[in-house]
Amino acid sequence: MTPADTGTETPMPQEPTGIRPRGARTVPPRTAGLLTAALGAFCATVALLLPAVAAPRLALLPAPLHQTWTLTDPEAAYLDTAHWRTREDVPLVRRTETLGAPVPGEPGLLVLAVTVTTESDRGPVDHHEHRLVVDRATGRTVDCCGADPAPGGALAGLWPPGSTGAELPLHAPDTGAAPELRMDGTEQVAGLTVHRYTQHLPPTRVPGSLRDVPASALDADGGGTVRAERWVEATRTYWVEPVSGQVVDLAEQRRETLRTPDGDHEALLLDADLRLETGQAAAAAHHAGERARLLTAVRGRLPLLLGALGAALVAAGTVLVRRAARTR
């Protein structure tokens, strides 16, 4: 059957007419060149602003801030002060929660409310709180706004990005001192190269800890009570990703005693080898890796890429403008 038999007509191919469809427009070469050059200038400007403006802002300690570290020891020993008996080989959990908020009227400062609780399977062992103010750019303590006494310029457990010092003072809230924190090597944690810092706190008296203690608890002669003070000895280790300043792991060997002021009698108060929970360390390492990649990109890779792209676009736009000028 032919098309004639069906009563339909076969459409004939149309020859190009050279007429532009209605509504279609072309951008003049000169305008296209100017737009291309303007886009290139924008990219170049952003390339300059990223390391100069964006990177310093990203490097500030976050505000608000909420951070919790949970350290455990499955075989600790401590003095049960409810019954004045020593408990041995018991699981112990020490939790440090830090809440940070910007100081009103001082956006560069961060006030930290730190709560430290120690518990065993039998109940609470210890609890104390302190309040500090730190500089968001350096992570170091500042004497401001009614904060608890602390050595000026000491770290408070928060590292700003790029901290690479071999020796850094770290505030020890128990004693109010700030022994040096020394970098003693690098390690690999969850695929990240991290700096290991160690702080040794020699046996130190805790200010304001003098209290009445049963004489029998310190093997002192006679009955009744004796006056005793709390002493702390600790070795703290921090693993820090240097680009982000994020702590990815930590550990603490801690020994506390009760001593009479004359030093003649002493009793063990706490003996623990505390380690960070495994899952928490993995999460911290993941977060540190992401933040390190972001800071590295903003400080170097993105500015280089945008700078090169901007230069290429400006050059291309200039060529288009010149060609348009010659064809006029």
Inside any domain, residue 265: yes
Question: Is the pLDDT reported for residue 14 higher than 70?
Answer: no
pLDDT recorded at residue 64: 87
Total count of domains within the chain: 1
pLDDT recorded at residue 22: 52
Inside any domain, residue 8: no
Amino acid at position 8, single letter: T
pLDDT recorded at residue 10: 52
Reported as a pLDDT band with limits 50, 70 and 90, residue 78 is very high
Does 10 or 120 have the greater pLDDT score?
120
DSSP string of 100-131?
A: EEEETTEEEEEEEEEEEEEEETTEEEEEEEEE
Residue pair 163/242 in contact by the 8 Å Cβ criterion: yes
Does 231 or 13 have the greater pLDDT score?
231
pLDDT recorded at residue 196: 94
Does 319 or 89 have the greater pLDDT score?
89
Which residues lie below 8 Å from residue 149, measured CB to CB, with a gap of 6+? 176
- The arithmetic mean of pLDDT across residues 245-258, rounded, is 95
Inside any domain, residue 147: yes
Look at residue 284 and give its three-state secondary structure: helix
The CA distances from residue 126 to 205, 256, 297, in Å, are: 17, 11, 44
Tens-digit pLDDT profile for residues 159-194: 878 766 778 888 888 888 889 999 989 998 888 899
Residue 48 structure tokens: 């300059």
Range of the domain at 237: 60-276
pLDDT recorded at residue 278: 82
Look at residue 53 and give its three-state secondary structure: helix
Percent of the chain with pLDDT over 70: 91
Q: Average pLDDT of the chain? A: 86
Residue pair 203/210 in contact by the 8 Å Cβ criterion: no
The CA distances from residue 199 to 216, 230, 252, in Å, are: 34, 20, 9
Inside any domain, residue 304: no
Reported as a pLDDT band with limits 50, 70 and 90, residue 35 is confident
Inside any domain, residue 64: yes
- The arithmetic mean of pLDDT across residues 52-64, rounded, is 84
- Strands (DSSP E) found in the chain: 65-80, 85-103, 106-120, 123-135, 167-169, 180-189, 192-205, 211-214, 225-241, 246-259, 266-276
Q: Within a 10 A sphere around the Cβ of 188, how many other Cβ atoms?
A: 9
Length of the chain: 328
Question: Is the pLDDT reported for residue 327 higher than 90?
Answer: no
Comparing C-alpha atoms, which of 203, 140, 144, 143 is closest to residue 174? 203
Question: Is the pLDDT reported for residue 4 higher than 50?
Answer: no
pLDDT recorded at residue 27: 58
Which among 19-23, 46-50, 99-103 has the top mean pLDDT?
99-103
Reported as a pLDDT band with limits 50, 70 and 90, residue 152 is confident
Residue whose token pair is 């550990």: 251
pLDDT recorded at residue 159: 82
- The arithmetic mean of pLDDT across residues 38-65, rounded, is 86
Question: Is the pLDDT reported for residue 28 higher than 90?
Answer: no
Residue pair 168/181 in contact by the 8 Å Cβ criterion: yes
Question: Is the pLDDT reported for residue 1 higher than 50?
Answer: no
Inside any domain, residue 21: no
Amino acid at position 191, single letter: G
Inside any domain, residue 297: no
Percent of the chain with pLDDT over 90: 41
Comparing C-alpha atoms, which of 250, 302, 293, 290 is closest to residue 273? 250
